[in-house]
Structures are given as structure tokens and as C-alpha cells.
Structure 1
Amino acid sequence: MPSQIDPTWLALSRLRRRRFTSCISVCTSILSTSPYDKAVWSLKSQALSLEAYTDETEMEEEGVGEILLDDNAVATLPRPGTSLSAPRVNTSSMGIRPLSSSGRPSTGFSRPGSSSIRPMSGMTVDAAFKGPKPGTARPMTTLGREVRLGTASMENSGGKFIEVDKLDLRKYAGRPDLAVVLVDYLLQVEVNPRKALELCSEATQKANYKSWFWKRKLGQCYYKLGLYRDAEKQLRSSLKDTPMIMTYFDLTKVYLKLDIPNTALSLLLSAGEQFPMEPRILLGIARIYDMLGDIENSSAAYKKVLQIDASSVEAISCLASNSFYTDNPEISLRYYRRLLQMGLSSTELWSNLGLSCFHSSQFDMALSCFSKALQLSNETNEGDVWYNIGLTGVSIGDLALAYQAFKVAVSIDKNCAEAYANLGVLDLRKNDWESAQAMFEQAKSLAPFLFEPLYNLALLQWKRGNLEGAYENVKESLIIYPDHEESLALKKELMGSLMGLR
């Protein structure tokens, strides 16, 4: 540390430049000689909180703890379009728009919470134990994940800085400048919402219940503790005092947890009227439309985002995906090229570019894009690239290439249900009925939200004379995709055959 520079000023300068580790080390050296320096204590607390900060404006992954311990009652049979577990079914696109590993329509951009709720089937305890990436992580609760993040940040900074259990929270609540810093430390670093709730309650009383900030923090604490209705009351009161963008996002998360997305949507639409040039609000609106399966309105919202922020990666990615699945691969290709021009380069981007080039009849470019995607791939996404190569092989009639690509895909990712389903179809073409049935059964067990394996399995069982098994599977297929013409025709045929046997 330069001797001619005041160390407190240096720590403040490094905090402003977001050099948190350096700021923490300077503050630690000052506190070793002056342990009661409140200014330095506040600086170090801010640096630790900012270093451990996580964006809380999005939905978290729902772990097994939330499913087993959640006692909030929601409608079990909601109307389509009013619940995240029963989104609007766009029957014209169900056959061509793939589903993610969570059973939700692919949106073009991976975000937290996108794998928490499965449409039509609901998240089961079995699925929660598997997690969003089966075989890669142990299940956890949301708060447990945050505790581990906070613990890691403390280890990096040399252990605990504040002994929370020894604090006199009433004394700190009387000093708003220190209380504001301390509550962020409790929520971000210690991940102790109970202590933070005590501090917020004391500070709210000191402020005569007129501080929007402390009401918002109370809402955050209640949310982390699973008390969603209490969180709603505090956040509503905070918005009544002072409308703030982040408070709108906090309240939106509460409504999504309570599975009332239309209320969350109305809230964000009213926020958009107060903050018309805020792209984050428009992104939130588009995400909820995506969750509800309303692709048309979500695309319109993403376009509004680009009018304000032309470099929004999420908006460009989702518009590219929507264009591709509405049979406009040329427009999709332009969006993906825009992402490349912005400096992005990933396996997923090059793989999507390859598909867009192929469906735009630019076959030479498609192979180059898939080759680039394989170069950038790792064990978590290499299977997806080989699956796309297999689809390309099917489209050009090279079934040998397709079969090998699907085999490679399932060898890398044993949970790729779509690859198993396609392998079953190719085995069926070879008249290998036993292998085909095994593939369809595997795809069905891995992805019960896909209708294709169910229909293919029903068709195979019908050909083999297992009419009852075929009828059960085609019924499940029609639950997922009620307007699938082939399933309807097969069901009619099976009903006639079964009635004839009786």
C-alpha cells in the first residue's frame, strides 16, 4: 500500500472501481489496528456483500426441499393460461417446437427457474431429486444453495467478519447508515434471513413504518423464509410509499411462486407504464408470456426490448428461436449472426446457426457451423450437437449418419430422450421391433412430457397386437397434445378393435 495515500480513501476508491478483493484486504489491515473504525467496518461489509451478490430478480431453481416442505395451497386443476403448470397449448406448433429438459417449450435463452415447473405433468418429487441436469448435482433447496454461495465467499475473504449472534440489532437499527449495510451483509454473505428479519423489524419501527426500503427488505426476508403472503403485504406497502423497479420484481417473484402469473403480468404491465423506458420490465413481461406459452405476445415484448436496448442478448436469442420455430429460418439466421457480430461464441450459438443455415438451404455453411460447435463443446452440451447432426442426417436422407449421430448423442448424454425416440424410429425401419420398443420405453421414462415416444410406442404395440397397451399410450399422448391427428386416428382404430373383441 502506498504510504502517502490515506488507506481509507484507497479502500473507498477500490470499492467504487469494484475491486472488492483488494478493498477487503485494505480494510482488514486497517481494522487490525483500529477495530472500532465504523467507516472502514461499513466499507468492508459493503465489499463483502457486493462480492457475494447474486441477481435475485429471476426465479430460482425449485429443489426437492421446496416440493416436500411447501405448504402453500394452489389450484390443482387450473384453467389453461392461468397457471404455470397449465400454460396455453399452441397446438399448431407443438409438433415442431421442442421441449427443454423441464418439459417447457424451448425459449432460446437459458435462465434460472426455467426448469422448475413442468407443464401438464407438474414437477414430481422424483424429478426434483434428479434436478435440472440429472446426474450432475445433488438436489438442494433454494436457501441451501444461497448458504453455500455465501460460505464460499467467506472462505475467500479469510473467514467470518461479523459475529452475527453477538450483535445488538436494536442498537444498529437506530443507526440507519450502518443498518442498511448490515442487512445486505446478512442477506448476501451470511444468508441469514431470520436475523435480517429481526433487524428489518426494528429498523421499520424506528422509521415509524414509513420507509419503503425497510418494507422491501422485510418482503425479501419473508420471501426467503417461504412466507409469501406476508412478503406480498410488505412489498405492496413499499410500492405504495415509493414505486421502485426492484420492488416490482420482488413482488413479481412472489406471485410466480404462488402460481398466479396473470397477477404478476398485470403488475409488470402497470410498472411499464410508470417506467416506459426500462428494458428489464419488458424482459420480465416477455418471460412470463414465455412461461404461459404465449409466443406471439412474448415476441412482441422482446421486439420492444430491442427498441430500447439493441444489444440485449436474451431478446435477440429468444426472437431467433421464435423465428426458427415459426418457419422463418432466414430471419432466425440474421438474429444469430447479430449475436456473432456482438462477440458471442458458444456451442449453443454455433449449433443453432448450423440448424438455421441448413433449413435456409445453406448446406455448406451448416456443416462448418456444426464443426465449430463440436470444437467448443464440452460433456454437458456435446450430446445436443450430435443430436442436431442426427436430425440433419434424417432430413437429407443419410440414415446411417443419423443413426451414428444419435448413438453418439446417447453415449454422451444418457438422458437425451429425443435421441432415444429417433433411434427407436430408425430401428423400426430396420424391422428391429424389440430394440425399437426398448428405445421408446426409455424415451418415455426419461421424458413423460413428450408425446412422440408415446405415440410411436402405441403404434408399435398396435402392430404387435398389444391393443390395451397401445390404447393406454395413445391416451397419454393425447393428454399432452390433444389435436395430434395421427394419435386421434390411432385411438379411433383401437377403440373399434377393442369394441369388436367385446
Structure 2
Amino acid sequence: MEFTPTSVPELLESARQQASSGRPADALMTARAVLQREPENLAALDLAARAAWSLGDLRAAESYWQTALRAHPFCAEAYNNLGALYAGNGQREAAKASFLHALGIAPDYADAHANLGALYIELGQLTDAVACYRRVTELRPEEATAHYRLGILLKELGGVVEAEACYRRAIELRPEWDEPYNNLGVLLVQQKRYPEAEECFRLAITRNPDGVDGRSNLGVLLAKSGRFAAAAVFLEEAAALGADQPEVHYNLGNVLAEMNRFGAAEACYRRALLIRPDHADAHYNLGNLLARLMRFNEAQASFRCALAARPGFPEALNNLGNLLALHQFHGEAEEYYRRALALEPGLADARWNLGLLLLALGEFEEGWELYEARYHPEIRQNPWRLPELPFPQWGGEDLRGKSIVIWPEQGFGDEIQFVRYLPLLRERGVARLTLVCKDELKQLFLDSAVGADRIVALSETEQLEAHEYWCYSLSVPRHLGTRVETIPAAVPYLTATPLRMRGWGERLPAAGFRVGLVWKGAPGHRNDASRSLPGLASLAPLWSVPGLAFIGLQKDAGEPAASFPEQPLLDLGPELRDFADTAAVIAQLDLVICVDTAVAHLAGALGKPCWVLLPYHATDWRWMIGREDSPWYPGVLRLFRQEKLGEWDEVVARVRKALSEVAGLG
């Protein structure tokens, strides 16, 4: 026979059992049976309120607790429960008042402190929340959750040391819990304590094998140290476990992009955006990936989506500016660079890109200033670093009676182009001028008497004595106030020695119009895919011009003359030991035809006619915009520009026509 409770204590016990077993409707009915007998029974009112809340009847729950408080005005628990009801319903001020009432009655009521702390977090009052959770840890020192939450708050407020102690205390109290390990690991990453952080993330994974955060955090950390393959494994596992978490797919996309797994990276970014369409960083990195793949229109759309999601996104403004500059929308590109800098004046990439654009437009005054950002450590593709010299970098100070070192940067062509400034420094009264250069250029500069007291190769810099100043070669124009109209443009300013010329002259064809060829630049150059020709075969239309003698000056990636039996090519490139040798050959040619590489600058500096084939994409600033000549090498350089991205055939056709006219043979 089933027992039927009849007394109030029996009914209350039955209601408690019904509530704990997930039967709130039965619990409410039983509690009401008690209230019919004893309308102010505190336990019955509390049980009825909890049951009504479980059933979604918030008004009834509030009414039961309000009734309890009218009958029992000093019941702290009722105030705390009513506050929790208000907080869950978004009535934050009412909740705050209820929690404070509870604590006014019972100052050591830990649950009320914890609930008030959680409410303060919602209200953005983190300092007050910290005070609440501190009190909870004092009242319940063995409660791991309170220490953990206090750690989160302290980290948010910058209390790194105390936050770490809180996380470690939570781990000590509840070592099987993975979340404190994860948060401690994140804290350690911020302090660059990477080995300790890695251990924390691995322990989090051990504690929760199905957890997403530990794997995701470990994957990001491994990627930070360049261990991309291992990072991808953990992030792929995290993505499988947390298929609905956009950040995991985004981080995996970043790692796959670093591994050049572009298709998979794109799929990850698009998966992240499917889950969270307003993920600005995913739009931005997808744009970077698409730009890298030369899918420029899609990249531009991605950057615009990033800006729609986050209007104050300076990096997206900068990269959108790059794409606009690529498509020759120079005014719009400048606008986006300036908008990026208005948001973040120190953004090195935007300063550098705007500087490049202004220099290309001939606006040298501001351009040189911004161009100084080129060796900022935040520029990712920047291979240049400040030399470790025991004397200061020149900032434009008076050089009369002083000594200075001119330090090389960037490529061979840059050193050749800017060595022209040494005589101008002499005019400033420099007492001692030392030129440091790459080893391959030393003999050329010695032969040409460029104006230095001493020329030191990079391999010899341990012998460099003390000077008052040092300066990058490409910073000299800024300090000397160079404008387009004041470029020191007298050519030639380099020479080849008669002895070298005689030696190489014996190798050159005695008859014909001598044309030197260079069809590829250095493969390590960041724009080499665009600036170099696919191969020597791209120049084959030139073979049909009669009376020409072609000389190969290509040192690397050359093709043997036997590849083109219809046009003999004297391939001297592999035999050229340094730029002094190359200069001796060029000095005896009638014309040089080359892509944008150091040979163009060498020919120009020697005063030798040179035609330069320029790409549509990322044309170097020094060739400026819309010009067919160069103010750096007036009268000797002629520029042939691509009109469409990647299309060299039309450029070579124009060169062939011009070659026929100039050689007088067409």
C-alpha cells in the first residue's frame, strides 16, 4: 500500500523529493497543500517558488518569495533567491537590491556574495565583483570555483601575479578540473612563459580528453613557436570536437595558411564565417590569403566585410589600400592608408605603404619621412634589422668635421642607386666617410672611386672602427631633403676599369648590335613572381630582329644557349664573379634589356641605355607612377610597363618594335 503523506513535515519532505527528482509540477502541488494549512510556512513558500521558477512561471515564483519576506522579513535566503530570480530575468537593479538586503541581514552569506559578484560582472563593475569573490574565498576557502572566478577577474584587471595564485589554488583544490589549467596557460602565454603554458594545456587535455579549449590553446601556442605541423594536429582535433566554435576554425585556418595549405585554410576561414558572419579577423585573414593567391577582387570583398564588421580596423584599411594601389586607384589607396593611420598612428605597415605610394607619386617630402618605417620590427616581411653599432644613427645633424658610416640595406640595386649620394655628403663637410657594402659590390665601388675614404664589405665589418654616426643608404635622401627636381642624377657615376673591359671584350661578339639580357630577379624577392619573366623563352620574339647579338647577363636561373638554336646567345652570366665583371661587360654593350633587378641600376649608373620591363603588380616605388623614363637615370633608362597583371607578351611586343627602330634594323 502506497504511503500518502498527511502531516506538514511529511508533505514538505515529499515536495523536496519531488523537486530533487525532476518533478517540479508535483512539488508545486504538494507545497500548495502545505500552504493551504500554513500560508506563511517559509519552507513551503520557498519550495513553491523554486518549482514555479522551474516551470517558467516567474511571476508566481516572485509572488511566493515576496510572501515569504512579508511573513519573514529577516530571511536572507529569500532575498538571495529573489535576487537570483531578478538577475536571471534581466532585472539587474532589483537583483542588486535583493542581494544587498540578504547581505545586510547575513554579512557572511557566501552564496549572496557569489551571486552579487556575478551580477557586478554583468554590470561591468569588476572591482566590486573582485571584493565579492574575495569574501567568498574567505568564507569558503576550500571552494575551487570561487578561487577560479576570482582569478579570472584579477587577470582582467591586470593583477597577473594574484590571478596566477588563484588559478593554482583552484587546481590544488580540484586537480581533475581542466578549466583552471586552461586559464593559467593563457595567463602564462601572456607572460611569454611558453614551456609552462604548454604543460598547462597538455594537463587540461589529460583532465578533459573531449575538451576543445585545451587543444585549441595548445595548437595556437605551438603555432606561435613555429611548430605548425603539431599545431595543426591539435587544432584539427579541436575543430572536430567543437564544430560550432568559429574561433577554432579560424585558428586552424591561420596555421594551415602558414603551412601553405591554402585550400584547406580557405575552407577553415569560410567555416568560421558560416558560424559567425561578423568575425572580422576571419574576413581579414581570408582577404590576406586571397590576396596571396592573387584573387584580388575576392580579397578586396573580404577586407570590406572585415571593415563592415569592425569599422575601426586599421590593418584591414591598410590592406584594402594595398589592393586599391595594385589596381592603380592611387587616390583611394592614399585615403585608406591615412584612415588607418588616423586610427593607429604607429601602424608601421600603413606608414611604410603610404610612404611607398607618396614616393611613387613624387611627393618626396612626406614620402621619405614615412619610408623610415621600412625597418620597423612589426613589418612582418621586413628582412632588415638595425645594425649593432656602438655609435648612433644619423638623424640629420651637422656633419662638418664628423665621421659617418653608410650602411647597406635591401638589394644590390639599392646600393648601386644610392651610392650616388656620397659626394653630396662630402659637400656637407664630412671628415671621414666609410661605405659598407655587400661583398659582391666592393670591387665595383673601388674601381669607380665613389667618394668614400674606405669601403668595407659586410664580411669585414668586424674591422670597422668607431665613427660619430651611421646611416642607412636609403635614409640619406631624407636627411638631404631630396625632391624629384633635386635628385643627384648626373650619370655615369660608376665606371668599369679598362683592364677588366679588355678581358671581357675579347669574349664579346665583334659584329652586330650588342644587347644584354636579364630575365629573372633574385628568387627570394617578395615580388619576384610578378617582376620576373617565366623564362628566357618569353623574349623569343626579339630573335626575329636581324643583326642583333644577344649576351646573357643572368647569373641565376639561366638557360643554356642550346635551348634556342635559332638565336645564339652568348651566356656570360654564370661566369660573372661580381658586379665589377658585370659592369665591364655592360660598358661594351649597345643596350641592356632586363626586368626590375640590380642590372637595371648598374646599367643606368654606367650611363648605358637600358630598357626595364616592369610588372603591373607591386611596381617598385623608384620607377614612379605613369612614367616611361626615370629621373634617377635621365636619358638612359626607358620603362616598359605591363598593362595587365601577368601579361608579358604585349610588353615584349613593344620592346621588339622599339628594338627594331633603335637598332635601325627593322
Matched residue type, 2:60 = K
Of 241, 254, 258, the residue aligned with 1:391 is 254
Q: State the shift of 1:272 in Å.
A: 3.5
Cα distance in 2 between the residues matched to 1:228 and 1:358? 42
CA contact (8 A) 2:321 2:337 kept: yes
Of 291, 306, 312, the residue aligned with 1:443 is 306
Structure 2 counterpart of 1:429:
292
Matched residue type, 1:410 = R
Structure 2 counterpart of 1:248:
113
Of 4, 7, 16, the residue aligned with 1:46 is 16
- Residue 218 (structure 1) aligned with residue 82 (structure 2): yes
Question: TM-score w.r.t. structure 2 length?
Answer: 0.45
Matched residue type, 1:407 = A
* Root mean square deviation of aligned Cα: 4.3
Of 10, 28, 48, the residue aligned with 1:182 is 48
Of 141, 149, 160, the residue aligned with 1:284 is 149
Q: State the shift of 1:197 in Å.
A: 2.5
**Count of aligned pairs:** 358
Structure 2 counterpart of 1:239:
103
Structure 2 counterpart of 1:265:
130
Q: State the shift of 1:437 in Å.
A: 0.8
Q: Deviation string for 1:293-313 (max 9, x for gaps)?
A: 766654443234334433332
Change (3 A) 1:471 1:167: farther
Q: Deviation string for 1:261-311 (max 9, x for gaps)?
A: 222223333444444443332222223345557666544432343344333
Cα distance in 1 between the residues matched to 2:81 and 2:36? 16
Q: Deviation string for 1:173-225 (max 9, x for gaps)?
A: 521232232222223x1233332232222222322x22221222232344345
Q: Deviation string for 1:10-69 (max 9, x for gaps)?
A: xxxxxxxxxxxxxxxxxxxx6xxx4867556545543554466xxxxxxxxxxxxxxxxx
- Residue 352 (structure 1) aligned with residue 242 (structure 2): no
- Residue 206 (structure 1) aligned with residue 66 (structure 2): no
Q: State the shift of 1:428 in Å.
A: 2.4
Change (3 A) 1:225 1:259: same
Change (3 A) 1:343 1:279: closer
Q: State the shift of 1:247 in Å.
A: 0.4
Question: TM-score w.r.t. structure 1 length?
Answer: 0.58
Cα distance in 1 between the residues matched to 2:345 and 2:37? 62
SS at match of 1:346: coil
Structure 2 residue runs without a partner (length 5+): 367-666
Q: Deviation string for 1:308-335 (max 9, x for gaps)?
A: 4333322111112233344443222211
Change (3 A) 1:257 1:337: closer
Structure 1 counterpart of 2:195:
330
Cα distance in 1 between the residues matched to 2:127 and 2:36? 40
Q: State the shift of 1:236 in Å.
A: 1.8
Structure 2 counterpart of 1:58:
none
- Residue 407 (structure 1) aligned with residue 267 (structure 2): yes
Q: Quote the sequence identity (%).
A: 16
Q: Deviation string for 1:108-160 (max 9, x for gaps)?
A: xxxxxxxxxxxxxxxxxxxxxxxxxxxxxxxxxxxxxxxxxxxxx87xxxx77
CA contact (8 A) 1:215 1:234 kept: yes
- Residue 315 (structure 1) aligned with residue 180 (structure 2): yes
Matched residue type, 2:130 = L
Cα distance in 2 between the residues matched to 1:448 and 1:167? 60
Q: State the shift of 1:358 in Å.
A: 4.6
- Structure with higher Rg: it is 2
CA contact (8 A) 2:284 2:306 kept: yes
Relative to total residues, which structure has the larger strand share, 1 or 2? 2
CA contact (8 A) 1:389 1:405 kept: yes
Change (3 A) 1:293 1:38: same
CA contact (8 A) 1:173 1:203 kept: no
Cα distance in 1 between the residues matched to 2:272 and 2:226? 29
Cα distance in 2 between the residues matched to 1:454 and 1:301? 41
SS at match of 2:329: coil
CA contact (8 A) 1:406 1:419 kept: no
CA contact (8 A) 2:32 2:48 kept: no
Matched residue type, 1:265 = V
Matched residue type, 1:46 = R
CA contact (8 A) 1:173 1:206 kept: no
CA contact (8 A) 1:330 1:356 kept: no
Bigger relative contact order, structure 1 or 2 (CA pairs below 8 A, ≥6 apart): 1
Cα distance in 1 between the residues matched to 2:322 and 2:312? 18
CA contact (8 A) 2:27 2:51 kept: no
